[in-house]
Amino acid sequence: MLLTTWEIVLRDKLPCFRAFRGDTNETKGGNCTDERITWASRLDENPALQIDPVAITHDGYYRCQMVTPDGNFHRGYHLQVLVPPEVTLVQTENGTAVCKAVAGKPAAQISWTPEGDCVTEQKRHWGNGTVTIQSTCHWEGRHVPNVSCSVSHLTGNRSLSIELDQDAKTSAPLRILRIVPPIFIILVIVGSIWLLKISGCRKRKLKETEHTSVVEEDEMQPYASYTEKNNPLYDTTNRVKMSKVLQSEVDGMSLHTVYVPEV
């Protein structure tokens, strides 16, 4: 082995190379700044590369070229870093079950036992190439006490189970029913206070009106009493005067009959 060269093409980065020359025992690393990519062992025996620790950023194409007295040889490798997803299974408030395979690479696959009405969504994280898969499933009109979510991935398969709460489907209407009575009671109390205030205002106005009428009547009463007390005296005085006049006329006119109407 006279010369070994590794050409490394990483995602979103410029190509770089690492080289070893056997006759001079010399190494070079053009543009390769990642210190995690190193030679595996003695280069004169095994010119392999070692990546430790490996990361998602090491995805790429690696090509090895070797020059020997027998000829030139080359071989290329597409390196794909696998990331196991984080699997979760929960039941929502409306009674559906949600299974997630978060930040896996490549994307995972989700299946249900028993099968139901399911909707699967995929969200890609472009920053690091991982993918999140979410599957929402419900079993309308069926009595399903337990469900299982199976996640298939290149790093391994996982399965989670959950016991469904059958009351969760009706939890929202029940919460509404629980909220309505307190609101109704509050409205009744507020309405009662409002009616009491209106009734109190009306009673107060009525009392003020009655009090004003009594005062006016009291102010008019002395004058009325005076009038009632003095009217008979006035009438009596007039009668006495009229009687004297009529008597004098009778004395002067004896031959005539005089009729005095009653007053």
Residue 225 pLDDT grade (very low, low, confident, very high; cuts 50, 70, 90): very low
Model confidence at 210: pLDDT above 90: no
pLDDT value at residue 121: 95
pLDDT value at residue 127: 76
Which of 89-93, 130-134, 137-141, 202-206 has the lowest average pLDDT? 202-206
Residue 224 pLDDT grade (very low, low, confident, very high; cuts 50, 70, 90): very low
pLDDT in tens, 38-82: 888 778 778 899 999 999 999 999 999 999 989 999 999 999 999
Three-state SS letters, 100-169:
EEEEEECCCEEEEECCCEEEEEEEEECCCCEEEEEEEEECCCCCCCEEEEEEECCCCCEEEEEECCHHHH
Can you tell me the mean pLDDT for 119-134?
Answer: 88
Chain mean pLDDT for the chain: 78
Measured CA to CA, the distance from residue 47 to residue 6 in angstroms comes to 9
Residue 213 pLDDT grade (very low, low, confident, very high; cuts 50, 70, 90): low
Percent of the chain with pLDDT over 70: 70
Domains and CATH numbers, the chain: 3-79 (2.60.40.10), 86-164 (2.60.40.10)
Model confidence at 216: pLDDT above 80: no
pLDDT value at residue 246: 44
123 CB neighbour count, 10 Å cutoff: 13
Neighbouring residues of 208: CB distance < 8 A, sequence distance ≥ 6: none
pLDDT in tens, 173-199: 545 555 666 777 888 787 788 777 777
Model confidence at 158: pLDDT above 80: yes
Output the pTM of the full model.
Answer: 0.56
Measured CA to CA, the distance from residue 8 to residue 15 in angstroms comes to 6
pLDDT value at residue 138: 93
Separation in Å, CA 207 to CA 194, 196, 198, 210, 214: 20, 16, 14, 5, 11
Token pair, residue 195, equals 């009616």
Neighbouring residues of 108: CB distance < 8 A, sequence distance ≥ 6: 85, 101, 131, 133, 151, 152, 153
Q: Which of 78-87, 125-134, 207-216 has the highest average model confidence (pLDDT)?
A: 78-87
Token pair, residue 156, equals 């391994």
pLDDT value at residue 88: 97
Model confidence at 254: pLDDT above 80: no
pLDDT value at residue 176: 55
